[in-house]
Amino acid sequence: MKLKTLLVTSLLTASAMAADNNVTQPLTVKQEGVKYIKMLGGALKTQLKAHMKKDPTGLDALAFCTGSADNITKEVNAKLPDYAKVRRTALKIRNNSVNTPDATDKKVMQAYESSIAAKTFTPKNIKVVQEGDVTRVYKPLIVKKVCLKCHGSNLDPKIADALKSAYPEDKAIGFKEGDLRGVIVAEIKKH
């Protein structure tokens, strides 16, 4: 009984201290990047879920992604401080007009792919890259079952047609569960 009380007390103290830290300590650049990544990831995920629920074939969600993924990205960026931005990219790109990776993006994603192949990967593996006065924070996006409707191999013909007409050069198909689909990257300038 005593031991239990002691444990509970120390747990409470630990969480009180953690809460205290949140209030008094400014976010590290990495934490700030993760916060912006979650804003974009969360906004897209909420919408995708709602549209998939409304129409399980995925056609409605596809129309939504085609028409609005970029707008949502812009909306989220409008809420960030001037020194920060957040975006998605991938090695195999669907929307090559906005999501094309640069050399640093490619390097980071290749490193993620190697760790997936070597089975040392964990989804919580956030990578931080310093480039001049910009810090980049990367979060990997792993293919889940729900992603396969529009990024997998056996696409519903209606989905395949809609994809072909919207993205004639679509490279973002043929994925399987557990593959790296891409990353969300936050870029934070020294300020």
Q: CA-CA distance, 36 to 184, in Å (whole number)?
A: 9
**Minimum CB–partner distance for residue 179 and ligand HEC (Å):** 10
Q: CA-CA distance, 45 to 96, in Å (whole number)?
A: 21
**Interacting stretch for ligand HEC, rule CB under 6 A, among 14-22, 28-36, 56-64, 110-118?**
56-64
Site residue total, ligand HEC (CB under 6 A): 25
C-alpha dihedral (176, 51, 48, 81), degrees to nearest 10? 160
Q: Which of 38, 43, 70, 125 binds ligand HEC (CB under 6 A)?
A: 70
Q: CA-CA distance, 183 to 191, in Å (whole number)?
A: 25
**Minimum CB–partner distance for residue 145 and ligand HEC (Å):** 8
- C-beta closer to ligand HEC: residue 33 or 58: 58
- Position 53 contacts ligand HEC (CB under 6 A): no
> Which of 74, 75, 99 minimizes the C-alpha distance to 88?
99
**Interacting stretch for ligand HEC, rule CB under 6 A, among 13-21, 85-93, 111-119, 123-131?**
85-93
